[in-house]
Amino acid sequence: MKRNNNPGFVRRVLVNGNVGTVLFALIALCILWSSLSPYFFTLTNAKNLAIYSAYLGIMAFGFTFPILTGSIDLSQMPLMAMSGMMMGAFYRLGVTGLGLFGVASMTGLLGGAINATLVNVMNIIPFIATVGTQLIFRAFSFLITDGVYVTVKDSMIRTIGYESILGIPVMFWIMLIVLAICWFVLKYTQFGRNLYCVGSSEQAAHLSGINVKKTRFIAYLCSGLMCGIAAVVYTSQSGVALNSAGTGAEMDIVTAVVIGGTSMSGGRGSIFNTFLGVILMSVVANGMALLGLNPYFQMLFKGLILVVAVYLDTLRARNA
């Protein structure tokens, strides 16, 4: 019997079929959740989805930068928490408005610079370096205010957390603005092209004149900056700076980015695909919450999704 082998088709499905696959899964999930819960297709739930995906999306966009170079940043959630606590500490000192935004952003940049130094200057394996800073940033998020939460009653924070434009939460608009900027940088700037080149082949990038360490350093700065911005959005949701922010959700970002089709080995992916991955993960979490699913089962399903996403990434790399 003659074997029907079409490597061209397999190649297209695995390598280029990410958007269609994620959209199909997203539509299927929406149908499933709506059939199981009458509250899924409601305006209130749509706003809940937008709120949940806002901070997660901003951080996932930042995570995409180092992962495109073949690196990884596992310290994002603790860095977001530390940025939020620094914002809370400065609020106590009288800083308000855009000043708080600046404090959170600068803290995120500092964390990104620390990660970049460990990886690029000290040549520590990115996984080990960022697991270490994950613990350090989480510890500092508690030490900054002696473990006390800080209520932030600032008008800018309240606007971001509670106001809407055209019926869409302000924080979701912020995420879309960040999405547009990141998309432009990756698609139309030399730095964006350098990221893909470094991730595809570090040696080839070096031979072509690209400063590999500088490119990776800036990628970590971008990741850190997004953590700072996400801290503002996260804090605005409740008006409280939490030192425990993001605890237990560290791998949600990785799952969203990988399920969107960005390669763990670097050199392949896009911000738009990451956005789709974020929306998919938000719908997964939202549906399970609406059904009142046991938190441990929620962890189980998220873990399974991550394993499947990484497996598909392996298949794509093998057939690329």
Query: What does the alpha-carbon distance between residue 270 and residue 267 come to, in Å, rounded to a whole number?
Result: 10
Q: Do residues 215 and 194 lie in contact, with contact meaning Cβ atoms separated by under 8 Å? A: yes
Q: Pull the structure tokens for residue 259.
A: 């399920």
Distances (CA, A) of 227 to 178, 231, 251: 12, 6, 15
Annotated domain spans of the chain: 39-247
pLDDT tens, 263-307?
888 888 889 889 998 998 889 888 888 888 888 888 888 888 888
Q: Can you give the pLDDT at residue 314?
A: 77
Q: Can you give the pLDDT at residue 174?
A: 95
Alpha-carbon dihedral angle through residues 34, 40, 46, 48, given to the nearest 10 degrees: -140
Q: Do residues 137 and 247 lie in contact, with contact meaning Cβ atoms separated by under 8 Å? A: no
DSSP letter string, 247-301: TT-HHHHHHHHHHTT--TTSS---HHHHHHHHHHHHHHHHHHHHTT--HHHHHHH
Query: What does the alpha-carbon distance between residue 164 and residue 65 come to, in Å, rounded to a whole number?
Result: 29
How high is the mean pLDDT of the chain? 87
How many CB atoms neighbour CB 278 within 10 A?
A: 28
Burial class (CB in 10 A: 0-12, 13-18, 19+), 123: exposed
Q: Can you give the pLDDT at residue 3?
A: 45
Q: What are phi and psi of 140, to 5 degrees?
A: -65, -30
Q: Can you give the pLDDT at residue 40?
A: 87
Distances (CA, A) of 202 to 74, 197, 268, 312: 21, 7, 14, 23
How large a percentage of the chain has pLDDT more than 70?
Answer: 92
pLDDT tens, 200-250?
888 888 888 899 999 999 999 999 999 999 999 999 988 899 998 888 788
Q: Angle at the Cα of 220 (from 81 to 57), degrees rounded to 5?
A: 55
pLDDT tens, 111-139?
999 999 999 999 999 999 999 999 999 99
Distances (CA, A) of 89 to 74, 225, 227: 25, 19, 17
